Structure formats: C-alpha cells, structure tokens
C-alpha cells in the first residue's frame, strides 16, 4: 500500500486548496493508470478545509472515501486543539484521512478517531491527531 502525506494551502475561501486537491487527484489517477500494483491509496493530513469547501468535494467526487464519514462519530473536529474557550475546542474539521481501494487487494478502514490525550497533545500542535486503523486483505 502506498501512502501520500498532504498539506493543502491556507487560502481563506479555499481556492488554493481546491487547485491543490485537483493536482492530488490527478496524481492518484496516474498511479492507477500506469499499471502500478497497489492495494490502495491513503491520503491524510491537514487539508485546511472544512467539509463544505470545494477541495473536499473534489476529493470525494474523485472516488476518495472520507474515513470519518465511513466510521467516525460526531463532528471529527481537530482544530483548535486547545483554547481557553471550552465550547470552541475541537470545533472545526480541517484534518482528513481519505482512502481509495484500487482493486489490487481490499483495503478497509476499521476505525477512525480524534486522539486527545490532554495537555501534552495540545502542546504538540494546534491540531489534534486524526488516527485510523486499516486492514489490507487479499
């Protein structure tokens, strides 16, 4: 299984992120059309895009599956990781794990969750980690 880490730009209205998402989709399709034997593709990272942004819709329309929509519970907010206003903590979903089964072998997302271990996690980043467990079979 190949994986690619992605960090999309920070344009407020999402124009930059959408262009980068299109380039990412093109790269993923190139893997599939060049007869590269892979079980699937996992794309994860800070997309700097809430679910309503065009960049996220572009990835979904390409056949990438949003693991949070498959197996997540709740909002899936990862940002901000810590704030002095408790109601705003983990309010915004900016981090994603997308997957695509390319038909080589079956890839399944069994579990996806936002990891929050308290103050030590909050010091590491302004985003909380988004974690997933995958199973790859024949």
3-class SS of residue 117: coil
- What local confidence, expressed as pLDDT, does residue 13 receive? 65
Per domain, the residue ranges of the chain are: 2-137
Walk along the chain (138 residues) and give the pLDDT tens digit of each residue: 344 444 566 655 668 888 999 999 998 888 777 766 676 889 999 888 899 999 999 999 999 999 999 999 888 888 888 766 666 667 789 999 999 877 666 788 999 999 887 777 777 778 889 999 998 876
Q: Which residues of 20-59 are buried (b: 16+ CB within 10 A; e: fewer)?
A: bbeebbeebeeeeeeeeebbbbbbbbbbbbebebbbbebb
DSSP track, 61-103: HTT-EEHHHHH--S----B-S--SSGGGTT-B--EEEEEEE-S
Q: Residue 29: what pLDDT?
A: 84
Asked whether 7 and 46 are in contact (CB, 8 A), the reply is yes
What phi and psi, each to the nearest 5 degrees, are found at residue 79?
-140, 140
pTM attached to this predicted model:
0.82
Q: Looking at residue 92, what is its pLDDT?
A: 86
Distance CA(40)–CA(24), nearest Å, equals 15
pLDDT of residue 11: 54
Structural element, H or E, at residue 29:
helix 15-33
Correct CATH for 2-137 of 3.40.50.720, 3.60.10.10, 3.40.228.10, 1.20.1260.10? 3.60.10.10
Q: What's residue 74's pLDDT?
A: 85
Which residues does residue 135 pair with via DSSP β-bridges, in sequence order? 108
């Amino acid at each position: 299984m190949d994986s690619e880490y992605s960090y999309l730009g920070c344009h407020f209205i999402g124009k930059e992120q959408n262009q980068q998402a299109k380039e990412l989709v093109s790269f993923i399709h190139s893997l599939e059309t060049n007869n590269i034997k892979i079980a699937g593709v996992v794309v994860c990272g800070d997309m700097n895009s809430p679910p309503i942004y065009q960049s996220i819709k572009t990835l979904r329309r390409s056949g990438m599956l949003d693991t949070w929509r498959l197996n997540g519970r709740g909002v899936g907010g990862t940002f901000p990781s810590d704030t002095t206003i408790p109601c705003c903590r983990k309010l915004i979903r900016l981090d994603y794990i997308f997957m695509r089964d390319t038909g080589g072998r079956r890839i399944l997302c069994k579990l996806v969750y936002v990891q929050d271990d308290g103050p030590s996690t909050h010091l590491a980043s302004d985003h909380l980690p988004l974690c997933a467990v995958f199973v790859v079979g024949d």
